[in-house]
Amino acid sequence: MSVIDLSALKGGLRELPPLSLYIHFPWCVKKCPYCDFNSHEFKPVAGAIMIADGSDVGRSRVGDGFDEMAYIEALLRDFEFSLPSIWGRPITSIFMGGGTPSLFSPAAMDALLAGLRARVRIHPDAEITMEANPGTFEIERFKGYRNAGINRLSIGIQSFNPRHLQALGRIHDGDEARRAVEIALTHFDNVNLDLMYALPNQTLAEALADIDTALAFGVTHVSAYHLTIEPNTLFAVQIPQNLPDDEISADMQEAIEARLEGAGFVHYETSAFARPGRFSRHNVNYWQFGDYVGIGAGAHGKISSHEGIVREMRHKQPAAYLQAVAEGKPLHSQHKVGRKDLPFEFMMNLLRLTGGFETRLFSERTGLPVSCIQSQLKQAQAEGLLAQDLTHLRPTLKGQRFLNDLLTLFLHEEGED
């Protein structure tokens, strides 16, 4: 880890980056053993009603502590607290993540999007994505989502193989996964499938079979993730048996990349593949160090101003979040990103893009001169991790494979002034 030239850290943004909106829905039917996201199982109560067609916008209670219209109202009030820091800036994309947003009715989503439009300018061509899981799919329900203004779906398939789905603790089977994709494609022309590989007892052929099934449906985007054992998950306590070793996992990764690229998909980010023109605009804004407001339980945000960059986090527990919003204090924490930390935060995002980025973005998004990281850039090139020309920087294939080693070069050493 090398020392950043702090004498060059003058700072100061001249222009503000694009602005996105992330909305977190914290409830799910069942917590998956590999999941470390802020998600909470809801427990259906006697007389609970799950709205499927969007015809009722009343206060339908779908589980303990889960009053969907009360949560929608809290989201809109939460968003109002952010308005002074983003005033005059349009929203270029919206992403609804979770948890399982598709547990909420089309009526709730319509009320949410209408409320947002009344409070802020949303770009007419904004990408509006909702995450959904198989098992929450009904034809009329997803027609309602489309009519509400959602124009992109991201479906948590993980695998089409019933044995692997069972090992992952998913609530759907292979047939339900296929049916979910079919229903999605009847109403949406922009669909992402999340798939995992390096699963317990999974072979290379089985990993590729999932990719081939996704391609056969004609989806526009595939996110292929290596199963990772995260802290504070059930898998971290009870590590699955018969996980593929590093060599087999690497073979799976290379084969998946080759299969998708051979089918005309662009490998544009570490785990993301898309047909030309179908990159996730919302996620690309993250990776290009753009701004985003984060509302909902546990949501994170990043807001730039001419004075610097501020990161925010909402209260994680749904009940605590709702109470905090009611009291006018939705933020759990907020801090300004120190100038000495900006190079690492910038690179941690931009170097995920396999095609790299224009060098000018470093100064535009951090307010710092590129000269402050010249020694790190030279070292990364000398180690074969980074390629640079007159206008662009990009990770080499080695840099993509050893991304953590590349990023370490830009870490701020403790004790630096």
Residues 155, 187 contacting (CB under 8 angstroms): no
For 178, how many CA atoms within 13 A lie in the half-sphere containing its CB? 10
pLDDT in tens, the chain (417 residues): 455 554 444 456 888 999 999 999 999 888 888 888 888 887 644 333 343 333 333 334 444 447 899 999 999 999 999 999 999 999 999 999 999 999 999 999 999 999 999 999 999 999 999 999 987 777 888 999 999 999 999 999 999 999 999 998 888 889 999 999 999 999 999 999 999 999 999 999 999 999 999 999 999 999 999 999 888 888 888 899 999 999 999 999 999 999 999 999 999 999 999 999 999 999 999 999 999 999 999 999 999 998 899 999 999 999 999 999 999 999 999 999 999 999 999 999 999 999 999 999 999 999 999 999 999 999 999 999 999 998 999 999 999 999 999 999 999 765 443
Identify the bridge partners of residue 158 per DSSP, sorted by sequence position: 195
* 304: region left, alpha or beta (phi > 0 left; psi from -120 to 50 alpha): beta
* CA-wise closest residue to 190 among 225, 222, 151: 151
Q: What is the pTM of this model?
A: 0.91
Give residue limits of the domains in the chain.
6-14+306-408, 19-285
- CATH class belonging to 19-285: alpha beta
385 is written with which tokens? 């991790």
**pLDDT at residue 6, as a whole number:** 45
Interacting residues of 250 by C-beta distance below 8 A, sequence separation 6+:
none
- Measured CA to CA, the distance from residue 150 to residue 127 in angstroms comes to 8
Residue type for 73, please? E
- CATH class belonging to 6-14+306-408: mainly alpha
What confidence tens digit (pLDDT) does each residue in 370-386 have?
999 999 999 999 999 99
DSSP letter (8 states) at residue 41: E
